Structure 1
């Protein structure tokens, strides 16, 4: 891994100069979907960002959770409402949580917040499929690897049945020397403690890790590495690519009812 320019590999806004237009499209499309399909807001903690936008389906099958990205330091659920569209078209309920951001909290605290959100969603469904993009892909993997009985003895041990990570990060040490780490404040110990690659692999469930075809080599390495590591530990894993997609467009298929991504998540939710 010596000689890798981690700033170039992980600074996606620099890698994709057209990202402002893509993100403006998220805001526009999300507002349109919320306008036609107003979500229910479900609090899961004391803060204003501790809330879940819940886009209800037909009440059958598992809930699919989507955790947004932003390197744990930007954005909230309101930019991603339209990503419920594809699964809602199949009657599947979609939950999109916000969370507190670094530097106001640590990455480890955000992991705990997503566990708190999952605990609240357990009141609506005993089984969750958790998807996420970028930092959200990291958090989705963390949820699959969580010992739910240790977190809350009232929860089922198999609360999370699958994780679907889109261009996720699973080993955080490469970020330490980059500009991304300024709000995160990670050192080697904190990076390792928050890296699902080093967690005890899940005892149950499955992991899909997909990467935009135009992503940097580090994103491919990270997803392949966790698929291999957790697969060797005994759970079903899949690696895949999102054709023609960069870091910002990799999530676009979630809004399309007939996309392969929605088809796979529908399959996971129906188990």
Structure 2
């Protein structure tokens, strides 16, 4: 029997997907066992790493109280610059929670910058994106070599915005950018319109579309990796697959990784370990592996 006839005679596999509770679809803490321990669980390791590390704290990149970044440095001349942009749905947290995640980059001989930024509703997501562009540009002026960006959740959105055609990065910084790693990133903001969080984000359809990397074209010559935990909410898995799928079709070199047995809060742990697959993957493009 010809192959096409076998397909025609087979029973179709129909799977119906529909989101009815949008807040639950994007809720992490309440859907992870022990999720209420975060973000407090990051405070002590972050403080301990700042205390022992070679770090320049609170470098201003703008005029606002939150327009500051910390720069963690290896003992030798840095091989390049890694920037980590934190999450918090654009409405919460700051750079102080994540300092220990610089250990992987620093242990690999790289400098690692971690910026804070203003939060919604005091500013818009577009303004936050511009601030991150300014922070990266300032840090790039302090450290030579290739640049790798990583960001978590809302931070994943912000770093992928840096490799869009309308990136706020100047040409000389774009030319040094080799790899963007979006960890559990949000790349299409239109679903946020259906969540209660939009009371703070203040998105409408126009601004959601204008700030969605998945609806834009990527810059050439920069690799994208989306990294997500296998135990995450389905929307975070979908958001990661969405961007790699679309941008691969637009000519970008993309990689999609689903890390087993990881949830939204511990999927970033590998950044703090020089031996982790996440850390090796983040730097391999810049180091020619």
Range of TM-score over shorter length = over 0.9
Tell me the CA shift for residue 151 of structure 1: 5.3
Residue number in structure 2 paired with 1:172: 189
TM normalised by structure 2 equals 0.88
Task: Check conservation: 2:217, 2:250, Cα contact below 8 A.
Answer: no
CA distance in 2, matches of 1:252, 1:21: 15
Q: What RMSD over aligned residues (CA atoms) do the two structures have, in Å?
A: 1.8
Question: Quick check: 1:112 aligned with 2:130?
Answer: yes
Alignment partner, residue 86 of structure 2:
68
Q: Which residue of 2 aligns with 1:13?
A: 29
Q: Which runs of 5+ in 1 are unaligned?
A: none
Tell me the TM-score normalized by structure 1. Answer: 0.93
- Partner of 1:71: helix, strand, or coil? coil
Q: Which runs of 4+ in 1 moved over 3 A?
A: 1-4, 150-153
Q: Specify the alignment match of 2:207 in structure 1.
A: 190
Equivalent of 1:24 in 27, 31, 40: 40
Give the number of the structure with larger relative contact order, counting CA–CA contacts within 8 Å between residues 6 or more apart: 1
**1:91 pairs with 2:127:** no
- Tell me how far apart the structure 2 counterparts of residues 156 and 90 of structure 1 sit (CA, whole Å): 22
SS at match of 1:270: coil
Which residue of structure 1 aligns with residue 161 of structure 2?
Answer: 142
Aligned residues: 269
Contact 1:11 1:180 in 2 (8 A): no
How far the C-alpha of 1:23 sits from its partner, in A, is 1.9
Question: Gaps spanning 5+ residues in structure 2: where?
Answer: 1-16
Which whole-Å deviations, capped at 9, do the CAs of 1:89-136 have from their partners, x for residues lacking one? 121111111100001100010000011011112212253110000000
CA contact (8 A) 2:129 2:158 kept: yes
Deviations 1:159-203 (A, max 9, x none): 322100100000011111212222101111111111111122222
Aligned match of 1:244 in 251, 257, 261?
261
Local SS of the residue matching 2:39:
helix
Query: Contact between 2:134 and 2:169, CA under 8 Å: does it hold in 1?
Result: no
Matches within 5 A, 1:146-157: 146-147=165-166, 152=170, 155-157=172-174
Largest Rg, 1 or 2? 2
For residue 192 of structure 1, give the secondary structure of its aligned residue in structure 2: helix
Partners of 2:174 and 2:109 in 1: how far apart? Answer: 26
